[in-house]
Structure 1
Amino acid sequence: MTASIHRLNADRPPSLDPMMALTAHDLNHVNAVILDRMQSDIPLIPELAGHLIAGGGKRMRPMLTLASARLLDYPGARHHRLAAAVEFIHTATLLHDDVVDGSDLRRGRRTANIIWGNPASVLVGDFLFSRSFELMVEDGSLKVLKILSNASAVIAEGEVNQLTAQRQVETTEERYLQIIGAKTAALFAAACRIAAVVAERGEGDEQALDAYGRNLGIAFQLVDDAIDYASDAQTMGKGVGDDFRDGKVTLPVILAHARGDADDRRFWRDAMQGHRVSDDDLAHATALLRSTGALDDTMACARLYGQRAIDALTRFPAGEARSAMVEAVAFAVSRAY
């Protein structure tokens, strides 16, 4: 029988603790690689990179690589460096994203671009991308290189797609899902899939882990987009309503705009164009999202993708690794909301 998100929630709140316990030993090796490879004779590089890397993130993406390797009983150590490469890709995209978005808060701390400026953030992001590709090449697998380099290109495409959709309130659900599938889910999928490559498993296991990561990534981003309106800065680690003020047309906005009356749609057009960005406007937006069911339906959509992620694991034997990966999905769709 397929595990269910709802059944997982029955006894206690879902937690990332089982995944963290499962990967703790391997993650120490990954952190050592990260620390070593972010060093440079240029002091600003480790200083700025260290600010973000040590900023309290859960290392979700590298943990997925490590957990997937455990799921497959991989006995080697190649996944340590590759998990570090995954984290470098993620960190580089965060540095670039914060510049593009003009963000001033990340995981509850001032962003690197606020402290050191935009040029330094972009250039150190480039440095981390380069380090990630060094690690991929050192691994020696062309297949791994293809998977991770393709994910990097897809992430960039997703970010550009999001940029061109910004403030376009007529953005469709289909385009929105394309955006988050690229900018968020692609790296989740690649992080999981490369474990099957290093474990020398077949295409079926590769595809199953890809599906797990991809669906988890989409669910993860859907929840992020909902809690931008339904949480607080301390919980989120970023400013409340940042997406709203940046004119990011996320699924909650798409649904509320489609379901609203003429006055509501006018409000959303004005808000996404940057003309309604006060605290009162944000409160009104949140009220519309609740009254139209847009937030609830976004969370329901996240649970749907989360269930697909869980279903993708059914080909693998039950055990500690699979249980931790299932609970990680439940945690992702229940956090902070």
Structure 2
Amino acid sequence: MGVVIPIEENKNRTASVKPLVDLTKADMERVNQLILSKAGSDVQMIPEVANHLISSGGKRLRPMLTLASASMFGYEGDHHVKLATSVEFMHTATLLHDDVVDESDLRRGKSTARTIWGNQASVLVGDFLLGQAFRMMVDVGSLDALDVLSTAASVIAEGEVLQLSVAKNMETTEDDYLQVIRAKTAALFAAAAEVGPIVAKTDKSGRNALKSYGMNLGLAFQLVDDVLDYGGKAADLGKNVGDDFREGKITLPVILAYRRGTEEERAFWRDAIEGGNSNDANLETALGLITKYGSLADTIARAKHYGTIARDALAPLPQSPWKSALMDVIDFSIQRVN
């Protein structure tokens, strides 16, 4: 088990998702009920697999973004609940598929569905959840919302394929990597935030503001996840520290350390990542190089940059508890490294 790189502690940490959780509590109860209803099936394995992941303790941040972004524009119907549930099903489906592609054994501290039911069941139940998501989108009856979420589903799939194409390739650039996470992670954050103002029938500026907010929040969120894999704690991660390295994943801390290293150090990275020698012993060396070249601090700096863009996207909107809560989510997402 590799050593953990200590990340400087911020003793003034106050950011929290609690304001967002409190504001969306009543609607999230409706979302959770709808999740349980729509994950049901006469085929016994489908609810078993779906509920295994759905009940595993995620924060449900993405559906909360949909609820909040609709409510901040005064929406009072129930379409945002259906769209929020669709967003959560899309996210759950991508996790099921991701774990198969990545051959992951642990998700949020629990065994992945693929280790219990197998790869085939995980993929097929993911497909079922995507189907249910689209049925709920159709129920809402908004072509704009359907367009945004279906486009996001396509972009996420493109991101998965793009990640495969750059997998274990140490010549992957920072721009290449940002393209992957923009598609794989940030696209769903953006769509989740954008469909709220769509059902609230707000103007184009409000819709664009929330889309930009979601996209840049998603980028910041993923970059912090990359940092946590090398500098977090297993209890917080829900997986083992260094799992990205063991799986041969190329993330920004690795890209920066590789680019900045000597030829001998770059040879180490090629052997570890491309050569498949990403064992615990080499993890120690990797952690040392990541520390040597300041890769974690620079990745955090990039996350803060995207967080600032997300904050600026919301700035012109009227002040409200919803806006404040969404602002807090930016700080919380970045301060998870403290």
Q: CA deviation at 1:197?
A: 0.6
CA contact (8 A) 1:180 1:218 kept: yes
Q: Where do 5+ consecutive residues of structure 2 fail to align?
A: 1-9
Distance 1:277 1:269 in 2: 10
Cα separation, 2, equivalents of 1:256 and 1:241:
15
Q: Which residue of 2 aligns with 1:238?
A: 239
Distance 1:60 1:335, change over 3 A: same
The equivalent residue for 1:45 is: 46
> What SS does structure 2 have at the residue aligned with 1:169?
coil
Residue 136 in 1 paired to residue 127 in 2? no
Q: Please state how far the C-alpha of 1:239 moved relative to its aligned partner.
A: 2.2
Deviation at 1:73, TM superposition (A): 1.8
For 1:335 and 1:54, the matched residues in 2 are separated by 22
Pair 10,74 (structure 1): closer, same or farther in 2 beyond 3 Å: farther
TM normalised by structure 2 equals 0.95
1:249 aligns with 2:250: yes
Q: Name the aligned partner's letter for residue 42 of structure 2.
A: D
Amino acid at match of 2:283: L
For residues 211 and 82 of structure 2, the distance between their equivalents in structure 1, rounded to whole angstroms, comes to 19
SS of residue paired to 1:312: helix
Contact 2:186 2:217 in 1 (8 A): yes
Q: Please identify, of 303-312 and 66-75, the stretch whose mean Cα deviation from structure 2 is larger.
A: 66-75
The amino acid of 1:106's aligned partner reads R
The residue aligned with 1:59 is 60
Does 1:90 find its partner at 2:91? yes
- Report 1:4-153 matches (<5 A): 11-153=12-154
| Aligned counterparts of 1:12 and 1:265: Cα–Cα separation in 2 | 36
Query: 2:296 and 2:12 mapped to 1: Cα distance?
Result: 25
Residues in 1 aligned to 2:55 and 2:297: alpha-carbon distance in whole angstroms = 34
In the alignment, the residues of structure 1 paired with residue 243 and residue 12 of structure 2 have an alpha-carbon distance, to the nearest angstrom, of 34
1:180 aligned residue: 181
1:293-308 correspondence to structure 2 within 5 Å: 293-308=294-309
Name the counterpart of 1:4. none
Structure 1 stretch 95-104 or stretch 313-322: which is displaced more? 313-322
Deviation, 1:10, is: 8.0
**Worse overlay, 272-281 or 41-50:** 272-281
- Note the 1:248-287 alignment, pairs <5 A: 248-287=249-288
Partner of 2:318: 317
For 1:292, the aligned partner's letter is Y
How many angstroms apart in 1 are the aligned matches of 2:280 and 2:189? 34
Match of 2:5 in 1: none
Paired residue total: 329
What are the superposed Cα offsets for residues 60-87 of structure 1, whole Å, 9 maximum, x if unpaired? 1001101111221212211000000000
Preserved CA contact (<8 Å) 2:105 2:112: yes
Please state how far the C-alpha of 1:96 moved relative to its aligned partner. 0.5
Q: Following TM superposition, by how much is the alpha carbon of 1:242 offset from its aligned partner in structure 2, in angstroms?
A: 1.6
Task: Identify which range, 46-55 or 72-81, moves more after superposition.
Answer: 72-81
Q: TM-score, normalised by structure 1?
A: 0.95
- Contact 1:247–1:274 at 8 Å: present in 2 too? no
Q: Which amino acid aligns with 1:83?
A: A
Deviation at 1:275, TM superposition (A): 3.7
Question: Could you tell me how far apart the structure 2 residues matched to 1:33 and 1:104 are?
Answer: 28
Q: Which amino acid aligns with 1:30?
A: V
Distance 1:242 1:162, change over 3 A: same
* Distance in 1 between residues matched to 2:301 and 2:337, nearest whole Å: 15
Q: Distance in 1 between matches of 2:275 and 2:19?
A: 42
RMSD of aligned alpha carbons: 1.2
Percentage of pairs with the same residue: 54
Tell me, what secondary structure is at the counterpart of 2:172? coil
SS in 1 for 2:239: coil
Are the aligned partners of 1:65 and 1:83 in contact in 2 as well (CA < 8 Å)? yes
Partner SS for 2:94: helix
Asked if structure 2 preserves the Cα contact closer than 8 Å seen for 1:65 and 1:191, the reply is yes
Asked if 1 retains the 8 angstrom alpha-carbon contact of 2:246 and 2:280, the reply is no
Aligned counterparts of 1:256 and 1:336: Cα–Cα separation in 2: 19
Partner residue, 1:157 = 158
